[in-house]
Structure 1
Amino acid sequence: MADMWLRSFRTALPTVRLAHGDDEVRDWFSFVVVPQYEAWIADADGVVAGLLVLEGEELEQLYLDPSWRGKGLGDRFVALAKQQRPAGLGLWTFQVNGPAQRFYERHGFAAVERTEGLRNEEQEPDVRYVWQPGE
């Protein structure tokens, strides 16, 4: 999961500084994400093609291996997230990530807040999205 996340992050966000080294990211997945959050992966013949992580009402992580972008996998993950959280979801994405913003807007999420990145470890301007059923 961590290696796919790192590949995806570096491909989708080449201008965003990683706040942690590769080994720290792997530890975070091993000791925090997997045991403490709700995590799903898409397995493609033994290789992680994508992942979805929910923490409470937050869509915490949705990353796809670069070779799996544009094939409907992200759509399936969002549908799963909405099924798991039918009362609504929130998420943050970086302002430089235009493709992610368009993706979430296409799935009914609305931008509700923009910040200069003071609350994220990357110190990167971000945008808050929320999805409420029926909106």
Structure 2
Amino acid sequence: MVDEITSYEESDHDILVDIWYRAVSRTHTFLTDSDIQFYRDIVQNVALRVVEIWVRRNDNQEPTGFIGLAGTKIEMLFVDPEYHGMGIGSRLIRHAQKLIGSTIQVDVNEQNDGACAFYKRFGFVQIGRSELDSSGKPFPLLHLEYRSQVNEEL
């Protein structure tokens, strides 16, 4: 099935870590190689197992991107760089909207202009900012929130 989004399977783990690594290497230009390795260890050993992961698959059932959810928050969203600009991130956001509902939060690195613009196109607005990321490193985070118009009309 084209454009299939399925739940995480353990057999996807290493492929998702690789997608994460290649995407971060391309989009998080503010990180050093040692920073990337630090976060890669977290993704490899913890992060993918503590959130609800949804995987977008191509025609060959290979993962091309994924989104990690915890409650009403997007904890991660990464797309294989070979598939950037093809609407996969947008499809994953719409999938999250169906699952989560009318209010969704996400934290995004302030230095990641592409991600900031991506979420703002979806109607996310900044509701806060932190000087440090969740690991205590000096990579400021913007706290964004999306609220559907349906909720505001009620």
TM-score (norm 2): 0.76
> Root-mean-square deviation (CA), in Å?
1.9
User: Is the contact between residue 19 and residue 121 of structure 1 (CA under 8 Å) also seen in structure 2?
Assistant: no
Instruction: Report 1:59-78 matches (<5 A).
Output: 59-78=74-93
Instruction: Report 1:86-125 matches (<5 A).
Output: 86-117=101-132, 119-125=134-140
Please list every run of 5 or more consecutive structure 2 residues that lacks an aligned counterpart in the other structure. Answer: 1-15
Q: CA deviation at 1:111?
A: 0.9
Specify the structure having the higher radius of gyration (Cα).
2
**SS of aligned partner of 1:3:** helix
Number of aligned residue pairs: give it: 131
- Residue aligning to 2:36: 18
Give the whole-Å Cα distance in 2 for the aligned partners of 1:24 and 1:127: 21
Relative to total residues, which structure has the larger helix share, 1 or 2? Answer: 2
Give the whole-Å Cα distance in 2 for the aligned partners of 1:46 and 1:89: 28
Letter in 2 for 1:18: I
Please list every run of 5 or more consecutive structure 1 residues that lacks an aligned counterpart in the other structure. Answer: none
Is the aligned partner of 1:9 residue 2:24?
A: yes
What are the superposed Cα offsets for residues 70-126 of structure 1, whole Å, 9 maximum, x if unpaired? 101111011011111113110100111111111101101001112211544443011
Question: Structure 1 residue runs of 4+, over 6 Å off?
Answer: none
Is the aligned partner of 1:43 residue 2:57?
A: yes
Q: CA deviation at 1:23?
A: 4.7
Give the whole-Å Cα distance in 2 for the aligned partners of 1:37 and 1:19: 20
User: Is the contact between residue 18 and residue 122 of structure 1 (CA under 8 Å) also seen in structure 2?
Assistant: no
What is the identity percentage for the equivalent residue pairs of Structure 1 and Structure 2? 23
